[in-house]
Structure 1
Amino acid sequence: MSNKLFLGHRLRRLRRDHELTQTDMASSLSISPSYLNHLERNQRPVTAALLLKLAESYDVDIRAFAADGGHRTGPDELREIFSDVLLQDLGVPRYELAELANNAPSVADAIARLYAALKEAGREGGVAAGGDARAVVTPEIWVRDYIQAHRNHYPKLEEACETLSGALRDPLSVAEPLRRRLRDAWGVSAQVVPQAELGNLSQSFDQDRRQFLMSSQLKAENRTFALAYQLALLEFAGLLAQMVGEAEAPDEGIAQLLHMHLANYAAGAIMMPYGRFLAACETSRYAIDRLTGEFGANVEQVAHRFTTLSRPGQRGVPFFMLRVDPAGNISKRYAGDQFPFSRFGGTCPRWNLHAAFQAAGQVVTQLIETPDGQKFFTVARTIERPIRTELGAGLLAIGLGCPIDHANKLHCAEGYDLDKAPVTPVGPACAICPRLDCGYRATPPAGRLLAVDKDRKTISPYPFVAG
């Protein structure tokens, strides 16, 4: 098996992002333009020495660059798409999907976006005749892809939030200086009011009256977050508008959702400014409960902040995070450098994320291994919804994970013998999972010949021929 790195499309994209000609980039890397041309066309592998030069010249994170940062459509996602009943009869071989993902990543991304839109259209009953096909590109899918394309990290916003947070710092609380800043700098009064006054809202800003209202049913940490969110909308109005404009969202609704996401991101960065938060993470060994106390945040806010620590030269542990409800619906999905789960489906039932619901309030840990041999240390725990309603608070579960070679940096991994602890094999969506003897398999593997024998029942309900 070859370990050569053919990273032509990534080199080409990096060069174009910096608006360089091949001659310009070749000069900065001390190579010839013809050699760079061969590299971009995948006719030569990228060497370790060249990776180091890229890191030095363009502030490239070597591991993320070599792994494509985990945010482009990869062969696994394409296999999932082409295993769909609509396409599986084409029998597209794996090597062709790998070539597409590696050599034409933008085309692969386009296929993934169209497939996601098609899936959503199926759930909604399709697109009406004569309707705008863009309507099936759901806001959630578009914004999620945008977040992944930026590795859930926005340098300009981070810098602005860190500066503001430094000006607000108060040793006694986080919420009070936020409230004062709203009042003194923006003439906005912040109040907590009964839920009945807000109807179905949890918070509301009245531009004319300069009033910011928060529901009395919001927990203390969520009120603090709400104050930081409203302050971010005011303090960074120009920057947020610029970022949303540059994103070129397909419609106003999606643009507004992205704007809200960026303001949420800023709220977390104000409460947990990058440098101080990363230092606290490293000191506490990423102990979530200690960090919630130190920064006045809740478990979900801290877990989400973990996934944003991608500043060049100041990177944290590369976490991925999911949030699910008891029915298995995924409402948040943030990837670190690598993300081992299905892009279009749910999670593998062998990952114990859902076991957190049977152990409410406890931390559930697990070592998992994906079919390609990658190992991850994962943590799952329940959280309450941010606001109580007539139906009660209700529980959600969050799952965090990181590559096993980072697990020794985590407080929750203390006492683990990471070399000897049992490892649970997991996979992506069942339709594309290559594992043969899985008793949890819910669907037949697409494109595989079943090996069912009426005289012999197997542990897996859908045995299939390997290879």
Structure 2
Amino acid sequence: MAAPKLYAGAKLREVRTRVGLTQKDFAAKLGVSLPYLNQMENNNRPVSTTVVLSLAQEFGLDVTELNSGDGERIVSDMREALADPVFSSDMPPMADLRLAASNAPALAHAFLELHRAYRQTHERLASLDEALGREDARARPSPWEEVRDFFHYCDNYIDAVDRAAEHFASTHGHHHSVRAAAVATLADGGVDVSFEDTDTLRRYDAESQNLVLSYRASQESQTFQLLLQVALLRQDKLLEATLDFARFQTDEARAIAKIGLANYFAGAALMPYGQFLHAAQETRHDLEQLATRFGASIEQVCHRLSTLQRPGAKGVPFFFVRVDQAGTITKRHSATRLQFARFGGACPLWNVHRAFEQPGQFLRQLAETPDGVRYVSLARDVSKSGGRFGAPVRRYAIALGCEVTHAGQLVYADGLDIARAEVFEPIGISCRICERKMCHQRSVPPLERRLSVDPDTRDVLPYAVN
């Protein structure tokens, strides 16, 4: 399969502006003509290999930054938004969407915000939401969606928080385990840590400076909550500065994001970037070995793997997703070209749904998306006990995967015949934007295609996709 052409006009302009060069001088540094540079900056021509090498040699650019994945995320999001029935005209060509994502990302984001505002207003009208009549009922993204998109477009990597967590682990965890270091750090700040028989996982009383954790929780969860509390108490200025930069629209979104950043710190302190990246490469991403080595859960390890996107020291670009039994996506991130549906559930052909049927097992799948990109996907259930008889069990399944070009770095790809095209199962993003004509699990027709209905013929579907 031919490698995709690299269009990175916006990044080229950004580099040129940063070093303060005119187009003429920049072209000379890169060893290309002025018209050629102009065409690349406007995405009329792809960035050549010669230019990529020149960027690395002349300006020390981490060339992986040229293909950060933001463009594909925006294209995927716009395709899903444009599949809304409100847009009765044909879907714009993919070339136009890619051009908008590359040359006018701010405009593309504005379009997505506008469509999201429309959807929420429409839903309010449909449900006769009484809030519609209030003065403050302006259509805006829900706080949860706003925070989700913040992490989504940060590539799920927050450099300042990640480095602070790594520094904490190396400084405080040198002579102690990171758990003991967290307890000691809290004690130094006057916080008393205790464990009780309670359903509440973590409860902190600021007045008495008492932190109570549930002893029913697993060791991994307890350690994570200790580190989260360290982040909230000892890294507050850093978290607040990051939140100021994000400029959330509501106090609720800011509050949710602060917990998200504290969670990020906890995961990064439990699995420090450099150590974890080295261990992941050494074990060929063996999740069980990594979980044992760092005292983390399988889910925590998978989530951390999806954040290894530090410029100059990137790990394998993974996608990570968690779904509940109804197929609803409750966590998601992709450093790959695979993007998840923003609305609704994941493709039913994906192995993550089968993990509930085979608890405790790693399920492997070779999959291909409609754009022809092939992936190795690993799925497993991660049911969470309530810690006592009669307590409800929370049931989830997670999936971790990467493009098949990285299969050699995964122990889970051993024995898979990745050379045979027929072993790759066809999966999609969501039914309404999936272009596959024949799919036995399709729930709704694709909105980009015309249908034919023959009353005298019934196949798997009651219609044919043209």
Verify same fold: TM over 0.5.
yes
Aligned residue in 2 for 1:97:
97
Secondary structure, in 3 states, of the residue corresponding to 1:314?
Answer: coil
* 1:151 equivalenced with 2:155 (yes/no): yes
**Cα displacement string for residues 99-122 of structure 1 (whole angstroms, at most 9, x for unaligned residues):** 433432222222223323443455
The aligned amino acid for 1:449 is R
**Residue range with higher mean Cα deviation, 62-71 or 275-284:** 62-71
Compute the TM-score of the two structures, normalised by the length of structure 1. Answer: 0.89
> Are 1:372 and 2:376 matched, yes or no?
no
Q: Give the TM-score normalised by structure 2.
A: 0.89
1:14–1:117: structure 2 CA closer, same or farther, 3 Å change rule?
farther
Q: Is the 8 A contact 1:72 1:105 kept in 2?
A: no
Q: RMSD of the TM alignment (CA)? A: 2.8
Q: What is residue 62 of structure 1 aligned with on the other side?
A: 63
Q: Counterpart in 2 of 1:259? A: 258
Q: How far apart are the structure 1 equivalents of 2:49 and 2:361?
A: 43
Q: Give runs of aligned pairs for residues 351-370 of structure 1, distance below 5 A.
A: 351-370=350-369
Q: How far is 1:426 from its partner?
A: 1.0
Q: Is the alpha carbon distance of 1:345 and 1:70 closer, same or farther for their aligned partners in structure 2, counting shifts above 3 Å?
A: farther
State the SS of the aligned residue for 2:336.
Answer: coil
Q: What's 1:243 paired with? A: 242
Match of 1:376, SS state, is strand
Q: Give the direction of change, closer, same or farther, for the CA distance of 1:388–1:140 in structure 2 (3 Å limit).
A: farther
The corresponding residue for 1:192 is 195
Task: After superposing the two structures, state which structure 1 stretch, 112-121 or 394-403, moved more.
Answer: 112-121
Aligned to 1:119: 119
Say if 1:384 and 1:394, in contact at 8 Å, map to a contact too: yes
Report the secondary structure of 1:221's partner residue: helix
Question: What is the distance in 2 between the residues matched to 1:205 and 1:2?
Answer: 52
C-alpha contact 1:69 1:338 (8 A) present in aligned 2: no
2:425 counterpart residue number: 424
Post-superposition offset of 1:286 = 0.9
Q: Which residue of 1 aligns with 2:228?
A: 229
Give the residue type in structure 2 aligned to 1:48: T
Aligned to 1:383: 382
Name the CA distance, whole Å, in 2 between partners of 1:455 and 1:222.
Answer: 58
* 1:173–1:296 CA contact under 8 A, matched in 2: no
Q: Which moved more, 1:370-379 or 1:171-180?
A: 171-180
**Matched residue SS, 2:243:** helix
Matched, 1:182 2:186: yes
Secondary structure of 1:234's match? helix
After TM superposition, list the pairs within 5 Å mapping 1:42-441 onto structure 2. Answer: 42-56=43-57, 60-63=61-64, 65-66=66-67, 68-69=69-70, 72-74=73-75, 76-87=76-87, 89-94=88-93, 95-123=95-123, 125=127, 128-129=132-133, 131-132=135-136, 136-169=140-173, 173-184=177-188, 186-195=189-198, 201-385=200-384, 388=387, 391-420=391-420, 422-441=423-442
Q: How much does 1:14 deviate?
A: 5.2
Distance in 1, Cα, partners of 2:296 & 2:272? 12
Q: What amino acid maps onto 1:331 in structure 2?
A: T
State percent identity of aligned pairs.
Answer: 35
Q: Confirm or deny: 8 A CA contact 2:120 2:139 kept in the other structure.
A: no
Query: How far apart in 1 are the matches of 2:35 and 2:247?
Result: 35
Aligned to 1:141, what secondary structure does the other structure show? helix
Report deviation, 1:379: 0.5
CA distance in 1, matches of 2:330, 2:228: 20
Q: Any unmatched runs of 5+ in structure 1?
A: none
For these two proteins, the number of residue pairs brought into alignment is: 457
Give the letter aligned to residue 162 of structure 1: E
The 8 Å contact of residues 227 and 266 in structure 2, kept in 1 or not, is answered as yes
User: Partners in 2 of 1:401 and 1:463 — Cα distance?
Assistant: 32
Native 8 Å contact 2:169 2:178 kept in 1: no
CA deviation map 1:132-171 (0-9, x unaligned)? 4655311222112111221111222222211210123267
